[in-house]
Structure 1
Amino acid sequence: MYPILLPLHSLLRWLVLAALLIAICRAFYGWLNTRPFSRHDDLLRHWTATICHIQFMVGLTLYFVSPLARYFISHTGEAIHMREIRFFGMEHITMMFIGIAIISTGSAKAKRKQTDREKFKTMAVWYAVGLLIILSSIPWAFSPLISRPYWRGF
Protein backbone atom coordinates (compact mmCIF):
# COMPACT_ATOMS: atom_id res chain seq x y z
CA MET A 1 0.00 0.00 0.00
CA TYR A 2 2.83 2.41 0.88
CA PRO A 3 4.49 2.16 -2.59
CA ILE A 4 1.18 3.23 -4.18
CA LEU A 5 0.10 5.90 -1.69
CA LEU A 6 3.41 7.78 -1.64
CA PRO A 7 3.54 8.55 -5.39
CA LEU A 8 -0.23 9.19 -5.43
CA HIS A 9 0.14 11.70 -2.60
CA SER A 10 3.05 13.33 -4.42
CA LEU A 11 1.06 13.55 -7.66
CA LEU A 12 -2.10 14.88 -5.99
CA ARG A 13 -0.05 17.71 -4.46
CA TRP A 14 0.18 19.31 -7.89
CA LEU A 15 -3.56 18.98 -8.45
CA VAL A 16 -4.22 20.64 -5.07
CA LEU A 17 -1.82 23.49 -5.80
CA ALA A 18 -3.24 24.04 -9.30
CA ALA A 19 -6.85 23.99 -8.07
CA LEU A 20 -6.06 26.42 -5.24
CA LEU A 21 -4.17 28.81 -7.50
CA ILE A 22 -6.97 28.84 -10.08
CA ALA A 23 -9.65 29.29 -7.41
CA ILE A 24 -7.72 32.07 -5.65
CA CYS A 25 -7.00 33.96 -8.89
CA ARG A 26 -10.62 33.69 -9.97
CA ALA A 27 -11.84 34.74 -6.51
CA PHE A 28 -9.58 37.80 -6.36
CA TYR A 29 -10.56 38.73 -9.91
CA GLY A 30 -14.27 38.41 -9.11
CA TRP A 31 -13.92 40.28 -5.82
CA LEU A 32 -11.89 43.19 -7.18
CA ASN A 33 -13.90 43.54 -10.40
CA THR A 34 -17.32 43.00 -8.76
CA ARG A 35 -18.24 40.17 -11.10
CA PRO A 36 -21.25 37.89 -10.56
CA PHE A 37 -20.54 34.66 -8.67
CA SER A 38 -21.51 32.13 -11.33
CA ARG A 39 -22.33 28.44 -11.15
CA HIS A 40 -18.82 27.85 -12.52
CA ASP A 41 -17.34 29.79 -9.56
CA ASP A 42 -19.41 27.75 -7.14
CA LEU A 43 -18.27 24.50 -8.77
CA LEU A 44 -14.67 25.70 -8.59
CA ARG A 45 -15.11 26.51 -4.89
CA HIS A 46 -16.62 23.09 -4.24
CA TRP A 47 -14.16 21.02 -6.30
CA THR A 48 -11.12 22.82 -4.97
CA ALA A 49 -12.15 21.96 -1.40
CA THR A 50 -13.00 18.39 -2.47
CA ILE A 51 -9.59 17.89 -4.12
CA CYS A 52 -7.96 19.17 -0.91
CA HIS A 53 -10.04 16.72 1.15
CA ILE A 54 -9.10 13.80 -1.09
CA GLN A 55 -5.43 14.71 -0.80
CA PHE A 56 -5.77 14.97 2.98
CA MET A 57 -7.41 11.53 3.21
CA VAL A 58 -4.67 9.98 1.05
CA GLY A 59 -2.09 11.70 3.25
CA LEU A 60 -3.77 10.54 6.44
CA THR A 61 -3.84 6.96 5.17
CA LEU A 62 -0.20 7.32 4.14
CA TYR A 63 0.63 8.60 7.62
CA PHE A 64 -0.50 5.35 9.23
CA VAL A 65 1.46 3.11 6.85
CA SER A 66 4.60 5.28 6.58
CA PRO A 67 7.70 3.87 8.25
CA LEU A 68 8.74 7.41 9.28
CA ALA A 69 5.42 8.10 10.99
CA ARG A 70 5.36 4.67 12.61
CA TYR A 71 8.82 5.26 14.00
CA PHE A 72 7.75 8.69 15.26
CA ILE A 73 4.66 7.27 16.96
CA SER A 74 6.53 4.41 18.64
CA HIS A 75 9.66 6.41 19.60
CA THR A 76 8.31 9.94 20.10
CA GLY A 77 10.78 10.97 22.81
CA GLU A 78 13.75 10.06 20.67
CA ALA A 79 12.21 10.97 17.28
CA ILE A 80 11.24 14.50 18.32
CA HIS A 81 14.94 15.40 18.12
CA MET A 82 15.35 14.04 14.57
CA ARG A 83 14.42 16.76 12.06
CA GLU A 84 13.15 14.54 9.22
CA ILE A 85 11.18 12.16 11.40
CA ARG A 86 9.69 15.01 13.46
CA PHE A 87 8.69 16.83 10.27
CA PHE A 88 6.76 13.87 8.83
CA GLY A 89 5.60 12.52 12.18
CA MET A 90 4.23 15.78 13.56
CA GLU A 91 4.83 19.05 11.71
CA HIS A 92 3.69 18.13 8.19
CA ILE A 93 0.44 16.46 9.23
CA THR A 94 -0.42 19.20 11.74
CA MET A 95 0.12 22.06 9.31
CA MET A 96 -1.71 20.26 6.50
CA PHE A 97 -4.65 19.61 8.81
CA ILE A 98 -4.74 23.31 9.69
CA GLY A 99 -4.47 24.31 6.01
CA ILE A 100 -7.30 21.96 4.98
CA ALA A 101 -9.45 23.12 7.92
CA ILE A 102 -9.00 26.75 6.82
CA ILE A 103 -9.88 25.90 3.21
CA SER A 104 -12.93 23.91 4.33
CA THR A 105 -14.08 26.75 6.56
CA GLY A 106 -13.59 29.25 3.75
CA SER A 107 -15.57 27.09 1.35
CA ALA A 108 -18.45 26.72 3.80
CA LYS A 109 -18.46 30.43 4.64
CA ALA A 110 -18.33 31.48 0.98
CA LYS A 111 -21.24 29.18 0.19
CA ARG A 112 -23.41 30.91 2.79
CA LYS A 113 -22.56 34.53 1.97
CA GLN A 114 -25.39 36.62 0.55
CA THR A 115 -23.65 38.81 -2.02
CA ASP A 116 -21.38 37.77 -4.87
CA ARG A 117 -18.65 40.13 -3.72
CA GLU A 118 -18.70 38.60 -0.21
CA LYS A 119 -18.50 35.09 -1.69
CA PHE A 120 -15.46 35.99 -3.78
CA LYS A 121 -13.78 37.85 -0.91
CA THR A 122 -14.33 35.01 1.54
CA MET A 123 -13.07 32.43 -0.92
CA ALA A 124 -10.03 34.54 -1.87
CA VAL A 125 -8.91 35.25 1.68
CA TRP A 126 -9.52 31.83 3.26
CA TYR A 127 -8.13 29.86 0.31
CA ALA A 128 -5.04 32.10 0.13
CA VAL A 129 -4.30 31.64 3.85
CA GLY A 130 -4.81 27.88 3.49
CA LEU A 131 -2.49 27.80 0.48
CA LEU A 132 0.25 29.68 2.35
CA ILE A 133 0.09 27.21 5.22
CA ILE A 134 0.18 24.28 2.81
CA LEU A 135 3.10 25.76 0.86
CA SER A 136 5.07 26.21 4.08
CA SER A 137 4.77 22.52 4.92
CA ILE A 138 5.44 20.80 1.62
CA PRO A 139 8.85 19.08 1.59
CA TRP A 140 10.10 20.94 -1.48
CA ALA A 141 13.09 19.63 -3.44
CA PHE A 142 14.89 22.96 -2.88
CA SER A 143 14.36 23.03 0.90
CA PRO A 144 17.55 22.87 2.98
CA LEU A 145 15.58 21.40 5.92
CA ILE A 146 13.50 18.58 4.46
CA SER A 147 13.53 17.83 0.77
CA ARG A 148 11.75 15.33 -1.41
CA PRO A 149 11.62 15.04 -5.20
CA TYR A 150 9.00 17.02 -7.15
CA TRP A 151 7.73 13.79 -8.76
CA ARG A 152 7.65 10.25 -7.46
CA GLY A 153 7.09 7.40 -9.87
CA PHE A 154 4.70 4.53 -9.23
Structure 2
Amino acid sequence: MYAFILALHSLTRWFVLASLLFALYRAYSGWLTNKSYSKFDDRLRVITTNIAHIQLTIGLWLYFISPIANYFISHFKEAVHERQIRFFGMEHVTMMLIGITLITIASSKAKRKTLDKDKFKTTAIWLTIALLVILSSIPWSFSPLISRPLFRPF
Protein backbone atom coordinates (compact mmCIF):
# COMPACT_ATOMS: atom_id res chain seq x y z
CA MET A 1 0.00 0.00 0.00
CA TYR A 2 2.78 2.44 0.95
CA ALA A 3 4.62 2.00 -2.38
CA PHE A 4 1.42 2.58 -4.35
CA ILE A 5 0.49 5.76 -2.45
CA LEU A 6 4.08 7.02 -2.78
CA ALA A 7 4.01 6.46 -6.56
CA LEU A 8 0.59 8.11 -6.81
CA HIS A 9 1.80 11.11 -4.80
CA SER A 10 4.87 11.38 -7.03
CA LEU A 11 2.74 11.25 -10.19
CA THR A 12 0.14 13.71 -8.94
CA ARG A 13 2.80 16.35 -8.27
CA TRP A 14 3.17 16.73 -12.03
CA PHE A 15 -0.55 17.47 -12.37
CA VAL A 16 -0.25 20.08 -9.61
CA LEU A 17 2.74 21.71 -11.28
CA ALA A 18 1.18 21.61 -14.76
CA SER A 19 -2.11 23.09 -13.57
CA LEU A 20 -0.30 25.78 -11.56
CA LEU A 21 1.90 26.76 -14.49
CA PHE A 22 -1.05 26.89 -16.88
CA ALA A 23 -3.15 28.87 -14.39
CA LEU A 24 -0.23 31.27 -13.93
CA TYR A 25 0.15 31.66 -17.69
CA ARG A 26 -3.55 32.49 -18.03
CA ALA A 27 -3.46 34.82 -15.01
CA TYR A 28 -0.44 36.83 -16.15
CA SER A 29 -1.68 36.87 -19.73
CA GLY A 30 -5.11 38.12 -18.66
CA TRP A 31 -3.71 40.65 -16.22
CA LEU A 32 -1.10 42.15 -18.54
CA THR A 33 -3.28 42.25 -21.67
CA ASN A 34 -6.56 43.26 -19.98
CA LYS A 35 -8.45 40.18 -21.17
CA SER A 36 -11.88 39.34 -19.85
CA TYR A 37 -12.12 36.66 -17.17
CA SER A 38 -13.90 33.81 -18.92
CA LYS A 39 -15.73 30.72 -17.72
CA PHE A 40 -12.63 28.79 -18.78
CA ASP A 41 -10.48 30.87 -16.42
CA ASP A 42 -12.94 30.29 -13.61
CA ARG A 43 -12.98 26.53 -14.27
CA LEU A 44 -9.19 26.51 -14.38
CA ARG A 45 -9.13 28.22 -10.98
CA VAL A 46 -11.37 25.51 -9.54
CA ILE A 47 -9.54 22.64 -11.24
CA THR A 48 -6.13 23.87 -10.10
CA THR A 49 -7.37 24.17 -6.53
CA ASN A 50 -9.01 20.74 -6.64
CA ILE A 51 -5.87 19.06 -8.00
CA ALA A 52 -3.86 20.66 -5.19
CA HIS A 53 -6.39 19.44 -2.62
CA ILE A 54 -6.30 15.92 -4.06
CA GLN A 55 -2.50 15.99 -3.78
CA LEU A 56 -2.85 17.20 -0.19
CA THR A 57 -5.16 14.31 0.63
CA ILE A 58 -2.78 11.78 -0.93
CA GLY A 59 0.16 13.44 0.82
CA LEU A 60 -1.49 13.33 4.24
CA TRP A 61 -2.46 9.69 3.68
CA LEU A 62 1.15 8.98 2.74
CA TYR A 63 2.43 10.86 5.78
CA PHE A 64 0.39 8.76 8.18
CA ILE A 65 1.53 5.44 6.69
CA SER A 66 5.12 6.46 5.98
CA PRO A 67 7.87 4.68 7.90
CA ILE A 68 9.96 7.87 7.64
CA ALA A 69 7.25 10.02 9.23
CA ASN A 70 6.57 7.32 11.82
CA TYR A 71 10.25 7.25 12.76
CA PHE A 72 10.31 11.06 12.90
CA ILE A 73 7.32 11.21 15.23
CA SER A 74 8.52 8.32 17.41
CA HIS A 75 12.13 9.50 17.70
CA PHE A 76 11.72 13.25 17.39
CA LYS A 77 14.77 14.30 19.46
CA GLU A 78 17.14 12.26 17.31
CA ALA A 79 15.26 12.52 14.01
CA VAL A 80 15.13 16.32 13.98
CA HIS A 81 18.93 16.30 13.59
CA GLU A 82 18.88 13.95 10.57
CA ARG A 83 18.44 15.99 7.37
CA GLN A 84 16.43 13.51 5.29
CA ILE A 85 14.22 12.39 8.17
CA ARG A 86 13.55 16.00 9.22
CA PHE A 87 12.79 17.01 5.63
CA PHE A 88 10.03 14.43 5.19
CA GLY A 89 8.88 14.44 8.80
CA MET A 90 8.53 18.19 9.17
CA GLU A 91 9.79 20.51 6.42
CA HIS A 92 8.13 19.00 3.34
CA VAL A 93 4.72 18.58 4.92
CA THR A 94 4.78 22.08 6.47
CA MET A 95 5.84 23.86 3.30
CA MET A 96 3.36 21.95 1.16
CA LEU A 97 0.54 22.79 3.57
CA ILE A 98 1.55 26.44 3.22
CA GLY A 99 1.68 26.13 -0.57
CA ILE A 100 -1.75 24.56 -0.82
CA THR A 101 -3.14 27.12 1.61
CA LEU A 102 -1.81 29.85 -0.70
CA ILE A 103 -3.49 28.19 -3.70
CA THR A 104 -6.75 28.08 -1.76
CA ILE A 105 -6.39 31.74 -0.80
CA ALA A 106 -5.71 32.62 -4.45
CA SER A 107 -8.87 30.86 -5.53
CA SER A 108 -11.00 32.34 -2.78
CA LYS A 109 -9.78 35.91 -3.24
CA ALA A 110 -10.04 35.79 -7.04
CA LYS A 111 -13.58 34.45 -6.80
CA ARG A 112 -14.64 37.49 -4.75
CA LYS A 113 -13.14 40.12 -7.05
CA THR A 114 -15.54 41.91 -9.37
CA LEU A 115 -13.16 43.34 -11.96
CA ASP A 116 -11.57 40.92 -14.42
CA LYS A 117 -8.14 42.54 -14.13
CA ASP A 118 -8.29 42.19 -10.34
CA LYS A 119 -9.20 38.50 -10.64
CA PHE A 120 -6.20 37.86 -12.86
CA LYS A 121 -3.85 39.98 -10.74
CA THR A 122 -4.90 38.29 -7.49
CA THR A 123 -4.55 34.85 -9.03
CA ALA A 124 -1.15 35.67 -10.51
CA ILE A 125 0.34 37.03 -7.30
CA TRP A 126 -0.92 34.36 -4.92
CA LEU A 127 -0.20 31.44 -7.27
CA THR A 128 3.31 32.73 -7.92
CA ILE A 129 4.04 32.71 -4.20
CA ALA A 130 2.46 29.25 -3.88
CA LEU A 131 4.51 27.88 -6.77
CA LEU A 132 7.76 29.20 -5.27
CA VAL A 133 6.96 27.60 -1.91
CA ILE A 134 6.06 24.30 -3.56
CA LEU A 135 9.09 24.26 -5.87
CA SER A 136 11.39 24.86 -2.90
CA SER A 137 9.98 21.86 -1.05
CA ILE A 138 9.83 19.16 -3.71
CA PRO A 139 12.57 16.53 -3.27
CA TRP A 140 13.98 16.98 -6.79
CA SER A 141 16.23 14.33 -8.29
CA PHE A 142 18.95 16.94 -8.82
CA SER A 143 18.85 18.32 -5.28
CA PRO A 144 22.11 17.94 -3.34
CA LEU A 145 20.18 17.94 -0.04
CA ILE A 146 17.21 15.61 -0.58
CA SER A 147 17.10 13.60 -3.77
CA ARG A 148 14.23 11.43 -4.95
CA PRO A 149 13.38 10.13 -8.43
CA LEU A 150 11.27 12.32 -10.71
CA PHE A 151 8.95 9.39 -11.48
CA ARG A 152 8.23 6.36 -9.30
CA PRO A 153 6.91 3.14 -10.79
CA PHE A 154 3.63 1.68 -9.55
Query: TM class by shorter-chain length?
Result: over 0.9
Residue in 2 that maps onto 1:63: 63
Q: Residue type of the partner of 2:48?
A: T
Residue in 2 that maps onto 1:12: 12
What does 1:64-79 align with in structure 2 at a 5 Å threshold?
Answer: 64-79=64-79
What does 1:1-150 align with in structure 2 at a 5 Å threshold?
Answer: 1-150=1-150
Residue deviations 1:102-139 (CA, integer Å, cap 9, x gap): 11001000001010000000011101100100000000
Q: Normalising by structure 1, report the TM-score.
A: 0.99
Q: Residue type of the partner of 1:61?
A: W
Q: Please state how far the C-alpha of 1:24 moved relative to its aligned partner.
A: 0.2
Q: Please state how far the C-alpha of 1:42 moved relative to its aligned partner.
A: 0.1
Determine the C-alpha separation between the residues in 2 that align with 1:77 and 1:3. 27
The SS at the match of 1:146 is: coil
Q: Residue type of the partner of 1:103?
A: I
Aligned length: 154
Q: Normalising by structure 2, report the TM-score.
A: 0.99
Determine the C-alpha separation between the residues in 2 that align with 1:119 and 1:50. 18
Runs of 4 or more, structure 1, over 4 Å off, are none
Q: Residue type of the partner of 2:144?
A: P
Q: Which runs of 5+ in 1 are unaligned?
A: none
The SS at the match of 1:37 is: coil
Determine the C-alpha separation between the residues in 1 that align with 2:56 and 2:20. 14
Q: Residue type of the partner of 2:75?
A: H
**Identical-pair percentage:** 61
Q: Which runs of 5+ in 2 are unaligned?
A: none
How large is the Cα RMSD of the aligned pairs?
0.4
Q: Please state how far the C-alpha of 1:3 moved relative to its aligned partner.
A: 1.4
